[in-house]
Structure 1
Amino acid sequence: MIDNSNRNIIKVVYTIENIQINIIKSNSVMREFMTKIFDIRNFTNWIKLFTYISATILLIVNNNFQSLIYIIPTIVLVFLVNYSRDYFIVSKNKSIVYIIISMTFEMILILSISFFDKNNINLLLFFVFVSSTVIIHKFIYSIFLIIVYLSSTFIIYIVQNGFTQAMQSFLAMIFNYGVAIAFVVGMSYLVKIQISEKEKLARMNEELEETYKKLIESSAAAEKLIVEKERTRMAREIHDTLAHTLTTLIIQLEACKKLASKAPYRLPEELEKAQKLSRSGFNDVKRSIKALRPEVMEEKSFFSSINAIINETMENTKAKVTLNNLLSKEIKLESQMEITLFRVIQESITNSIRHGQASEIEINMEIKDNILKLSINDNGIGCSNLKKGYGTQGIEERVESLKGTVEFYSSKGKGFKTNVLIPCEVL
């Protein structure tokens, strides 16, 4: 029969679930406060603890001392089993066997209280059981538990009161508590969704923080790499410019030194050439520092710039430079390609004169199968063991920056040869 105790149970259930609803629907300030104090999992645990205490109090009020000797320790045991499953079994990813054993044991304990509880107060314990199952485990588990619980309760009623009275009591319980059971399951499922969303948001925040840290580290590394590359490029630009200009200038000054005694009337003319060279080199250094193209390439086309540096070399040195250009004058290369080729030719001429003491230099250029081929040969003294200096390293870096390859060949007394291959798309 349904008496005042049963109605008290319903009030307690609805009070508990209303607390959860209020928490879920609370304003943003309250949610922020709750998040700082304890998360929703902890709050749910407080609700469970409150329910256990409420059930204990109701059982104490509605049962005699002899019954309480069994009921109270059983409730304590139910409490421990439930929390141990939530915090020890699930958190340590134990197998489903452990979970089933724990749930079965808790179900038996709750049902055993029914033999002493004539007012269905043990339903409060069952609500906690179902709620925690919905939140932590799969939804289907809770449906299975409800079926098992109701079936077992019906069997207990039959054992205690016979089939007819058992059927009446069972139907009355379904009518009075069915909505409460559905309410508990539904609200628990909403809590589960909110927990899942919160954990998902926390994982996303962690991933975003990790991505942000990596981005900062990558930015710092990229910035460092860019600075390093720019330093190398600027050093290479200055070296290429100074090396060529100073080599030519030294040769010009040596010529002036000889002319001072043999043909002094030509000295002013040669000194003027040396002065022009020094000024040109100085201007090139300034332009390199400003990360601009070589001055000659600012004023002339690529092919004209190559011819200019060849003419300058032959005018100021005894070396003869021949250019076999198989490229059409109408062909236009990418700007960076033109600068690279200009610097490679410039550096190679400088090396041939300064290190190889060459009197003849031959330059060949052609494009075949979208590959630009550049070869520079001289008749200098050559070398048996090639030691790459800053100039040859600069040539390699320039060519490799365009995904090209460069090879150096030399032997004692047989000159020096540089072969360059660069993928090329004609504009």
Structure 2
Amino acid sequence: MRFNQTASLSIRRAIRYVEWLILIVYLLLFLVNRDGVSYSNLPIPTYVTLAQVIILTTLSFIFPINRPIWQRRFYILLEVLTVIMPVAVGVDFEIALYLILAKSCILLNRKDVIFITIFSGILYMLLIAQSIPMIVDFNRTNHNQLLAEYLQDLNNTDVIIRRAVINNLGGYITASIFVILFCFVVVAEQKSRQKAEALTQQIETLAASLERSRIAREIHDSLGHSLTTLDIQLELAQRLYDKNPNKAIDSLNIAKDLSSECLTKVRNSVQSIRQTNFNLNQALATLVEQVVQNQSFVIHLNSELPQLPIQTSHQLYCIVQEAVTNIQKHGFAKVVNIKGYQDNQGIILEIIDDGQGFEVNAHHTGFGLRGMQERIQILGGELQIKSSLGEGTQIQVWIPS
């Protein structure tokens, strides 16, 4: 299993400190027990022990919790071999092997941990079996000196007590450190899980809020203007029903066309959302064709946008749709230029009209500009609007590529 970034940092520090403490205790015990005749005092076991401490200390600075799986496997295997291979010459650092197995539970999956445990156990037992004859042969060769030292120690109780206290204290320290490490990992995992649950709740709340905003934008962008005009025409038809039936029929015909337009917009919106191969350039061309049929202004479209993710394409399409709707309702423009392209900085979308313009800094109560800004925030882009009364409007959208 793998933890999140915050938990991994705390676990990394805890394991590193534990490794350092265990290595220090191991080195001190090695130095303290070097008096007298002992197999571990021979040159090869001595050099192997020092090399082992150096390698493990170096590896303790590396904890590849966020690295690819093959690097984590190689790291654990290297540590296992560093601890186990010296057993062949009588250098046994068993507590470090348990620590490495604990680290493998953090860095690797269950199958890898089981494999490492079985592999380490088999190799450890084989190397111990190989080292026993050498140690026995050394003890047999030096049995006189070993016996003399043993008899001398029996007459010196202080030496026996000192060795017993130091060795048992060292074993206690290393074992307790290992237990503390395990507790640190469990506590860190619990805290990580609690934070993840809290974050999940926040994400669910935010997702619901964004979904409500999205639905409000879709209703406003696709249906708001058409339904308003439809309501006006139906109200007019009601008033003219008794006084001027012919005009009332005209209003009903217009209302019928508006209702058909609303249905078309709903179908287009649903289709644009569900499409997996949504082509923004084609969608914009279709939008322009639909708009110019019933409007008095001209739209020049120059869109050379690359294939974009469906979410990005849909949001940009809705931004253009909203801009054109605002021009229809408020702009009184004659010419509209829509340009879309990609440069080194990202995706650029420009909508420029020669209409009556508006005061950008004035308070706007509608959903139009607010919806455009929300869509840009979703895409992580920027929106620039330049306009003044009588000077038309320039809208530029930038989306990072």
What TM-score do the two structures reach when normalised by structure 2? 0.51
Contact 1:408–1:417 (8 Å) recurs in 2: yes
**Is 2:300 the partner of 1:279?**
no
**Is 2:326 the partner of 1:342?**
no
Secondary structure at the residue paired with 1:414? coil
Query: Unaligned regions of 5+ residues in structure 1, if any?
Result: 1-134, 147-170
- Map Cα deviations across residues 350-404 of structure 1 (whole Å, 9 max, x no partner): 2333454556533221223363211112313411524466432332332243332
Secondary structure at the residue paired with 2:338? strand
- The offset of 1:321, in angstroms, is 5.0
**Is 2:326 the partner of 1:351?**
yes
Task: Give matches, 1:177-192, under 5 Å.
Answer: 177=155, 181-182=159-160, 185-186=163-164, 188-192=166-170
Q: 1:376 aligns with which of 351, 354, 358?
A: 351
Take 1:385 and 1:271, find their aligned partners in 2: how far apart are those partners?
36
**Is 2:389 the partner of 1:412?**
yes
Take 1:385 and 1:315, find their aligned partners in 2: how far apart are those partners?
33
Structure with greater Cα Rg: 1
- Partner residue in 2 for 1:385: 361
- Map Cα deviations across residues 231-285 of structure 1 (whole Å, 9 max, x no partner): 2244234323433422133335546777865755644542322222343456678
Amino acid in structure 2 at the alignment position of 1:202: I
Task: Give matches, 1:142-291, under 5 Å.
Answer: 174=152, 176-177=154-155, 181-182=159-160, 185-186=163-164, 188-251=166-229, 254=232, 266-280=250-264, 287=270
Secondary structure at the residue paired with 1:337? helix
Take 1:304 and 1:315, find their aligned partners in 2: how far apart are those partners?
17
Contact 1:323–1:363 (8 Å) recurs in 2: yes
Take 1:312 and 1:257, find their aligned partners in 2: how far apart are those partners?
26
Take 1:415 and 1:396, find their aligned partners in 2: how far apart are those partners?
20
- With 337-346 and 179-188 compared, the bigger mean Cα shift is at 179-188
Query: Unaligned regions of 5+ residues in structure 2, if any?
Result: 1-24, 37-148
Contact 1:248–1:313 (8 Å) recurs in 2: no
- Partner residue in 2 for 1:107: none
- The offset of 1:322, in angstroms, is 0.9
Take 1:175 and 1:253, find their aligned partners in 2: how far apart are those partners?
108
**Is 2:347 the partner of 1:363?**
no
Number of positions where the alignment pairs a residue of Structure 1 with one of Structure 2: 259
What TM-score do the two structures reach when normalised by structure 1? 0.49
Take 1:299 and 1:383, find their aligned partners in 2: how far apart are those partners?
38
Take 1:372 and 1:248, find their aligned partners in 2: how far apart are those partners?
30
Secondary structure at the residue paired with 1:193? helix
- The offset of 1:204, in angstroms, is 3.7
**Is 2:283 the partner of 1:305?**
yes
Take 1:355 and 1:182, find their aligned partners in 2: how far apart are those partners?
99
Q: Percent identity?
A: 14
Take 1:325 and 1:312, find their aligned partners in 2: how far apart are those partners?
16
Secondary structure at the residue paired with 2:340? strand
Contact 1:321–1:363 (8 Å) recurs in 2: no
- Partner residue in 2 for 1:83: none
Secondary structure at the residue paired with 2:155? helix
Take 1:324 and 1:282, find their aligned partners in 2: how far apart are those partners?
23
- The offset of 1:213, in angstroms, is 1.1
Take 2:370 and 2:316, find their aligned partners in 1: how far apart are those partners?
15
Take 1:281 and 1:385, find their aligned partners in 2: how far apart are those partners?
31
Residues 257 and 281 of structure 1: CA distance in aligned 2, closer, same or farther (over 3 Å)? same
Take 1:227 and 1:352, find their aligned partners in 2: how far apart are those partners?
35
Take 1:355 and 1:193, find their aligned partners in 2: how far apart are those partners?
83
Residues 400 and 392 of structure 1: CA distance in aligned 2, closer, same or farther (over 3 Å)? same
Residues 210 and 299 of structure 1: CA distance in aligned 2, closer, same or farther (over 3 Å)? closer
Take 1:229 and 1:217, find their aligned partners in 2: how far apart are those partners?
18
Take 1:337 and 1:253, find their aligned partners in 2: how far apart are those partners?
33
